Amino acid sequence: MIILGIFTHSGDFENLPLRTGTSKTASILSFSSAVFGFAAAWSAVSSDYCVYQPVTVSRKKIFFTVFYGLLPALLFTQLLGLAIATATANNPEYAAAYNDNKVGGLLAHILFPHLGNFGKFCLVVLALSTIGNNIPNIYSLGFSLQILHSQAQRIPRYVWSFVGSLVYIGIAIPGYSHFETVLESFMLIIGYWAAIYQGISLGEHVVFRRGTRRYNVQDFDTPSKLPPSFAAIGAFCCGIMGVALGMSQIWFVGPISRRIDESGADIGFELAFGFTFISYILFRMVERSYFRR
């Protein structure tokens, strides 16, 4: 809100004309993939927190609480970022701040001249907020690793969380000098994974379970009563194929992505979901007919 107030008062917003063409479409698709990755990844860990709700709470209430908890924050930050980015088009000072230090330099250019040391404090708080934003992910990491194997449950969750923190610190240190590129790549990769996860989960839930009534919670701690996961593994591999065909990263641009635009238009998560969902239904039909579970 402080950044919004200062930037609005400065009047540096530019009303840029909306361009058209394949290059613009490619940029929109790639940006949408990054935003999708940030929001959709919550689907994999939401149960770790929604489980604390009483069983009497309406499912619709939980859904809309989560949905509208994510939506306003995403819209606010993305629209604010879009408005600030317009200033770099025709204002050389904004452009220089962004080219020298990316998003951090751009925000510093807005805050420091008007707020001085308090502006520096705001920027430090904003940087530290990324740590707080990562706490739910590290908390859920312990659950995710413990369900891989019964032996993993002998290791306390806080140990897994500590190990996970060391891993992302190890990734963050070499990536700090080109933070924006690394972050965008990670968000897109998370989006790919979330699309594959949702393709498998929705395929099972909608097509085979047909709602929540066919779930037996007790079975999920007994591997012999669960599907052997061959269908899920096969669908996961098909989803990776979809990612490879549609992704647009600095280190690789898929053939379908390149056909949209020479520089690449990221449609990896759309193809990942489609490939995963369709292949899971086919594989699961074979798996269920053979294993009867």
Q: What is the pLDDT of residues 132-189, one digit of tens each?
A: 878 888 888 888 888 888 888 889 999 999 998 898 888 888 877 777 777 777 777 8
Tell me if 19 is assigned to some domain.
no
What span, in angstroms and rounded, lies between the C-alpha atoms of 281 and 231?
8
| Position 19 confidence tier, pLDDT thresholds 50, 70, 90 | low
- Give the confidence band of 20 by pLDDT, cuts at 50, 70, 90: low
Long-range CB contacts for residues 33-36, cutoff 8 Å, separation at least 24: 33/187, 33/188, 33/191, 33/266, 33/267, 33/268, 33/269, 34/184, 34/187, 34/188, 34/191, 35/74, 35/78, 35/187, 36/191, 36/194, 36/195, 36/269
pLDDT higher than threshold 90 for residue 15:
no
| pTM exceeds 0.75 for this model | yes
Considering the domain boundaries, does residue 17 fall inside one? no
For residue 13, tell me if it sits in a domain: no
**Per-residue pLDDT at 234:** 96
Statement: residue 262 has pLDDT above 80: no
Residue 18 in domain? no
Residue 275's pLDDT is what?
95
- Identify the pLDDT of residue 249: 78
Percent of the chain with pLDDT over 90: 17
- pLDDT recorded at residue 10: 83
What is the tally of structural domains in the chain? Answer: 1
Q: CB-hemisphere CA count at 13 Å for 7?
A: 22
pLDDT of residue 279: 96
pLDDT confidence of residue 213: 78
Considering the domain boundaries, does residue 83 fall inside one?
yes
Query: Does the residue 284 lie in any domain?
Result: yes
Residue (of 248, 246, 235) closest to 275 by Cα position: 235
**169 domain-assigned:** yes
Q: What is the distance of C-alpha 209 from the center of its chain?
A: 26
Question: 42 lies in a domain?
Answer: yes
pLDDT band at 54 (very low <50, low <70, confident <90, very high): confident
Nearest alpha carbon to residue 80 among 165, 179, 3, 177 = 3
- Quick one: pLDDT at residue 259? 83
Q: Is the per-residue pLDDT at 235 higher than 90?
A: yes
Q: Give the confidence band of 21 by pLDDT, cuts at 50, 70, 90.
A: low
- In the prediction, which pLDDT does 83 show? 87
Can you give the pLDDT at residue 285? 94
Q: How confident is the model at residue 269 (pLDDT cuts 50, 70, 90)?
A: confident
The answer to whether 206 and 212 are in contact (CB under 8 A) is: no
Identify the domain containing residue 206 by its residue range. 2-8+24-291
